[in-house]
Chains A and B, each alone.
Chain A
Amino acid sequence: MSSRDHILEVIRKNQPKGLPLQEIAFSDGEPFDKISKFTTVLESIGGTVIPINEWGEVEAYLNQRFSTEKRWVNLVPELRNLAPLADFTEDPHLLENVMVAILPGHFGVAENGAVWITEELMGDRALPFICEHLALIIRAENIFPTLHDAYTHIDKSQYGFGTYIAGPSKTADIEQSLVLGAHGPKSLMLFLITET
């Protein structure tokens, strides 16, 4: 008997009787202001939230912070003027010198400051992790209160790869001192479109 069949056989024999799955229903108490919650939480975990009313503000912010001499990769069509839309046929290793990556996110989650982003928005799966600084853009109306709401929205959709990104990469492995920029981006900027 193969290991697979053997394992499954023992499990079948040993598994206890159990109750059926219950429907999950959560509503986290009082309704809260999603935008301010999202902003507070994301800033508390090291992200920077920049509310914007028009696309030009993204450009102004990034131009002020990062040298245009370095490599920028943009995946947001509305920001084509800032940096041309990147296409990805290349080896992901070649993204190592990306200073700033600018990506659209699907939505944010207020309770934990996370942004959901899937493969087709990343250009290359490696990009959000290998870039030095990451800028994500979402619309304020696309913020859900909790992860339950987020999964209700994701539902059965198919993605090769999707991830929640909550703040910059970080570690506290050395004596619990928080250091931003462990292996991935050293900073995370979240542009929050409130009106356009």
Chain B
Amino acid sequence: MDTETTILDRKTSSDHATLADKFNLDEPRVDWHDKTLWFIRKKRDKAASQLQEWEQLRAVASDIKNNVLANLHTYLLAFERNAQQHGITVHWASDAAEHNKIVHKIIEKTGIKQVVKSKSMLTEECHLNAYLKTQGIEVIDTDLGERIVQLAGEPPSHIVLPCIHWKKEEIGELFSHHLGTPEGNSDPQFLTAAARIHLRQHFMSSRLAITGVNFAVAETGEIVVCTNEGNADLGVQLADVHIACVGIEKIIPLRKHLGVFLRLLARSATGQPITTYSSHFQKPRKGQEMHIVLVDNGRSKRLGSADFRNALKCIRCGACMNTCPVYRRSGGHSYHYAIAGPIGAILAPGLDMKKHADLPFASTLCGSCSNVCPVKIDIHDQLYKWRQLLAQNRKVGITKRVAANTMAYILSHHTLYTFAGTAGRWLMKYVPFIISNRFNPWYKQREMPKPPEHSFARWYHQNRNFK
């Protein structure tokens, strides 16, 4: 236990605070990262405000997801039965290792050595690519952003925008190195065209395609996959074998519920009214083999926890990341987990509490994540509960910090949140609601759009005493 007691105080080479500090060495870059994500958050706001019934949609989506959690057993069985009736082979994997083995076995049977894969956070969670590599199989990620980070040997830093931390000049350099584009050309149009040609070759030659799944419908046994690029479809429609990997929580009861979720997903993610393609796969193409791998990996266990089960409602839109002041200023990689940001910070400790003990502290508990979440997950409440749980389990060392329930830890820890210079001004500019969240002892209101100067001064003064 002794080693564990100090886990949150120790700055290991891989904890969030240290990684965030590293990210913050380049201040103009951090500002740029921050602004880019804030821009996407604003697009989301605009899209949401254009639907009069936005809040009603969120409430209904949340209700449906609560119903799913309460009836998951029945829905999974119905989904399996319906999918099988349509000629799809359904597999079940208890954990990441079993998932990887199942996928490998399917590939092995075909003798195929190179496969294409569209975006799937589940396969990131399971480290599928790395596993298949050890088995001599190369996975080509076909989402442009994912391909960029793959060529760079990195994981995605955002669940919807995998290379949001990359500048175009760097991508130009990367492509020049890997795809042979002319040096110094960093025009997004040009680079995208180069990637199109590069990946088209892989679409044309790969006989096996792996995809993620956005929604799996119990009633019909169909799966829905959403992309803007069309990469999931190009992969699948040209392949002899389609493997779709899906977390068991992605089930929704009825086809018509897609109306609710598809209205929310893209608007929350990027402010688009819908993704370019929302493809419904109900049966394999004639002559095609189709597999669905249902993956648990800790989900069924989480279902038993009243405090944390709500995180299973997540539809992976990324809105909570775009709005998070800490995510925007620390970058996705500082979370050292496949899913970054607020949702990652409540999912990761459920898988490995010790390894991810730092993540629930990577938050100001401002509550903005919960406010934007399309399925109304109580993200910031869960962050707080994780802190309490971690404190209980680790006893000494951190208790004080946890007790200082607002931002003591984060404010005292790194350059990111010091109240000097640009960071301080930034905090006030972008997260005024920080002073009105319910963990804040001084203000009770839910939202205070334009806090007067003296509120900040008072708040700042009192917070400072935490140090």
Contact = CB atoms under 8 A, between A and B. Distances in A.
Q: Do A and B come from one complex?
A: yes
Interface of A: 2-4, 6-8, 10-22, 24, 26-29, 41, 45, 92-93, 96, 109, 111-114, 124-126, 128-130, 146-148, 150-152, 154, 156, 158-177, 179, 181-185
Contacts, number: 243
B279 A16 contact: no
B279 A22 contact: no
Contacts of B294: 7
B319 interface: no
Contacts of A181: 192-193, 196
B285 A160 contact: yes
A93 B40 CA distance: 37
A19 B432 CA distance: 36
B276 A179 contact: no
B282 A161 contact: yes
Given A24-B260, A96-B204, A163-B233, A15 B92 contact: no
B233 A129 contact: yes
B161 to A, nearest CB: 7
Contacts of B276: 45, 165-170, 184
B259 interface: yes
Interface residues of B, number: 89
B98 A148 contact: no
Interface in B326-372: none
A147 B264 CA distance: 11
Given A2-B92, A10-B301, A41-B273, A158 B282 contact: yes
A7 B92 contact: yes
B76 A21 contact: no
Contact of B53 (A19, A21, A29): A29
B296 interface: yes
Nearest to A125: B237
Contact of B71 (A15, A129, A156): A15
A148 B73 contact: no
A165 B278 CA distance: 7
Contacts of B199: 183
Contacts of A10: 296, 300-301, 303-304
Contact of A173 (B161, B255, B280, B306): B161
Contacts of A29: 52-53
Interface of B: 36, 39-40, 51-53, 56-57, 60, 63-64, 66-67, 69-73, 76-77, 92-94, 98, 142-145, 148, 161-163, 166-168, 171, 188-189, 191-193, 196, 199-200, 203-204, 220, 228-231, 233-234, 237-238, 248, 253-260, 262-263, 270, 272-285, 294, 296, 300-301, 303-304, 306, 309
A15 B272 CA distance: 34
17 contacts: A7-B248, A13-B304, A16-B69, A26-B56, A112-B274, A125-B233, A147-B274, A148-B256, A150-B259, A171-B228, A173-B144, A173-B145, A174-B171, A174-B191, A175-B168, A183-B200, A184-B229
B73 A15 contact: yes
A176 B164 CA distance: 8
A21 to B, nearest CB: 5
Nearest to A111: B273
B63 A19 contact: yes
Nearest to B161: A173
A130 B234 contact: yes
Given A124-B237, A173-B163, 20 more contacts: A7-B294, A10-B296, A10-B301, A11-B73, A15-B73, A16-B306, A29-B53, A41-B273, A92-B237, A112-B273, A125-B285, A147-B262, A160-B282, A161-B285, A165-B276, A168-B276, A169-B229, A173-B192, A182-B229, A183-B231
Nearest to B284: A160
Contacts of A129: 230, 233-234, 237, 277
Contacts of B193: 179, 181
Contacts of B64: 21
B280 A162 contact: yes
B196 A17 contact: no
Residue among A4, A12, A93 with max Cβ neighbours from chain B (10 Å): A4
B230 A183 contact: yes
The 9 A-B residue pairs whose C-beta atoms are closest, nearest first, are A18-B70, A184-B230, A14-B304, A112-B273, A182-B229, A173-B145, A126-B237, A4-B92, A177-B188
A151 B163 CA distance: 34
Given A11-B303, A93-B204, A112-B273, A174 B233 contact: no
Given A11-B73, A28-B53, A29-B53, A19 B67 contact: yes
Given A148-B256, A174-B171, A114 B274 contact: yes
Contacts of A124: 237
Given A7-B300, A114-B278, A169 B256 contact: no
A181 B67 CA distance: 39
